[in-house]
Structure 1
Amino acid sequence: MARRALTTTAAAFTVAAALLLTGCGGDKSSSDDIKGADTGSGSPSASASAAAADAPDVSVPSDFHLVFDFDVPSDAKQASALSDAENYIRALKHGISKQDPNDPAYQYYSNGQAAQYAKSQIQAWVKGHWTVTGTDKYYDANVTTLSSGKRELVTFCRNQGKSFSKEIKSGKILYTEENADSYVKYQLLMYPPAGSSKAWKASVVEVKERAKECQK
């Protein structure tokens, strides 16, 4: 299925997991019906970095709704890391909608393996001539401080049961029923702004398919 291009292969999952361990040393739904739906104004947890003068465009098509149903951490650093983890996801979807594997948006919010992952996912959608539509929901976020505050590990669940691929040329939507494959768990290793950068960057992303802990 086209939307499964946004998950990793078993080999890529193993590599990402190893890197994280090293670092730790359907029907379409209306955005009005779901808490936190991103309709262009940003979710409640958007950080100051999202409004930085040099921040890239991470908008998505009007028929595609990103939902981040997250509680904002009270710790400012954790809140910023979570917000830019959201922006990494937004940037990836923006790259898909623009059909650009070299889109500057995901590069602004990632580097290393996480940037390579985003590029590979965009390439898969470009190859299939698909774009995104529907509602893509993320929830149950958790942020853990690592290495005495030098990085943050952000985890969250995803339900892609109402997120679909759409053929660009014909406009045909490739509907699928919600099933075990709809539930995914992400882990992102986030590094704080450095040098001229104003954003937290995802360095490593681990994606767990058919995540039972997210099925609720």
Structure 2
Amino acid sequence: MARRALTTTAAAFTTTAALLLTACGGGGDEAPDDIKGADASSKSPSDSASGPASSDRPDVSVPKDLKLVFDFDKPSDAKQAAALSDAENYIRALKHGIAAQDPEDPAYRFYSGAQAAQYAKSQIETWVEGGWTVYGTDEYYDDDVAAMSDGKGVVVSFCRNQAKFYGKEIKTDKVIRTEESLNSYQRWRVLMIPPADSSGVWKAGTVEVMGKAKDCRG
């Protein structure tokens, strides 16, 4: 996908995304937008059902009955590639937190800050309160990576297909299935903040989720 520079600044993007999430509750008709049925590298798709911790990064593994697929193009620019990779890790960490039933899970906190951390926490809290865990296949694709004009971040945009991603009741193991519809498709934009130290970790600062994304349905 396209690799370019955005003319807007990181501050402007943050303000816009915050307003969208406040107004739309995450961009979809379901609440939270990740819950379906309870109401969310290289060119080859990467099956990311597990993501064990490295020596300096947290465990972001998910249950075997959840399949995370990232069909992304790896940017040639090293910084943009790192930002895209850690945007994936933010998604993994969010699912890990839901599976762990822990709104204070250290994994998503490691890969996010500010509004993006608040968003992840609120999503996890809703799943925990509902008594659901994650199940099925969650697909991410059609990525676009763009550097901010002020040099203070990289915006990672991608589609999500959650048509086969479901909630599962923890007490009964009942999978709450729904039919594919326009609600199954989302467009995500994540502002990734460059490392503030030698860790090399890019963190999600702001998340914008737009539901009923017709362009993602294809």
Shared fold (TM-score greater than 0.5)? Answer: yes
Report 1:126-145 matches (<5 A): 126-145=128-147
**Partner of residue 173, structure 1:** 175
Which amino acid is the alignment partner of residue 136 of structure 2?
G
Distance 1:16 1:181, change over 3 A: closer
CA distance in 2, matches of 1:90, 1:75: 23
More helix by share: 1
Which amino acid is the alignment partner of residue 127 of structure 1?
E
1:12 to 5, 8, 22: 22
Question: Is the contact made by 2:190 and 2:206 (CA closer than 8 Å) also made in structure 1?
Answer: yes
Please, what TM-score do these two structures have when normalized by structure 2?
A: 0.79
SS in structure 2 of the partner of residue 91 of structure 1: helix
SS in structure 1 of the partner of residue 125 of structure 2: helix
CA distance in 2, matches of 1:177, 1:16: 21
Question: Is the contact made by 1:161 and 1:178 (CA closer than 8 Å) also made in structure 2?
Answer: yes
Please, what TM-score do these two structures have when normalized by structure 1?
A: 0.79
* Count of matched residue positions in the alignment of Structure 1 and Structure 2: 186
CA distance in 1, matches of 2:80, 2:194: 10
For structure 1, the 5+ residue unaligned runs are: 1-7, 18-25, 27-33, 43-49
2:107 to 105, 108, 119: 105
Q: Are residues 1:121 and 2:131 paired?
A: no
1:80 to 79, 82, 100: 82
CA distance in 1, matches of 2:191, 2:21: 19
Report 1:155-170 matches (<5 A): 155-170=157-172
CA distance in 2, matches of 1:150, 1:187: 16
Distance 1:14 1:132, change over 3 A: closer
Distance 1:90 1:9, change over 3 A: farther
Question: Is the contact made by 1:13 and 1:206 (CA closer than 8 Å) also made in structure 2?
Answer: no
CA distance in 2, matches of 1:157, 1:13: 21
**Partner of residue 59, structure 2:** 57
For structure 2, the 5+ residue unaligned runs are: 1-17, 28-35, 37-43
CA distance in 2, matches of 1:173, 1:16: 23
What is the CA deviation profile of residues 66-113 of structure 1, one whole-angstrom value per residue up to 9, with x for unaligned ones? 000001001000000000000000000000000000000000000000
Per the TM alignment, residue 37 of structure 1 is displaced from its structure 2 partner at its CA by 1.7
CA distance in 2, matches of 1:151, 1:12: 22
Distance 1:52 1:196, change over 3 A: farther
Which amino acid is the alignment partner of residue 37 of structure 1?
D
2:47 to 34, 37, 41: 37
**Partner of residue 200, structure 1:** 202
Distance 1:113 1:184, change over 3 A: same
**Partner of residue 4, structure 1:** none
Distance 1:200 1:13, change over 3 A: farther
CA distance in 2, matches of 1:136, 1:14: 22
SS in structure 1 of the partner of residue 109 of structure 2: helix
Distance 1:126 1:14, change over 3 A: closer
**Partner of residue 69, structure 1:** 71
SS in structure 1 of the partner of residue 162 of structure 2: strand
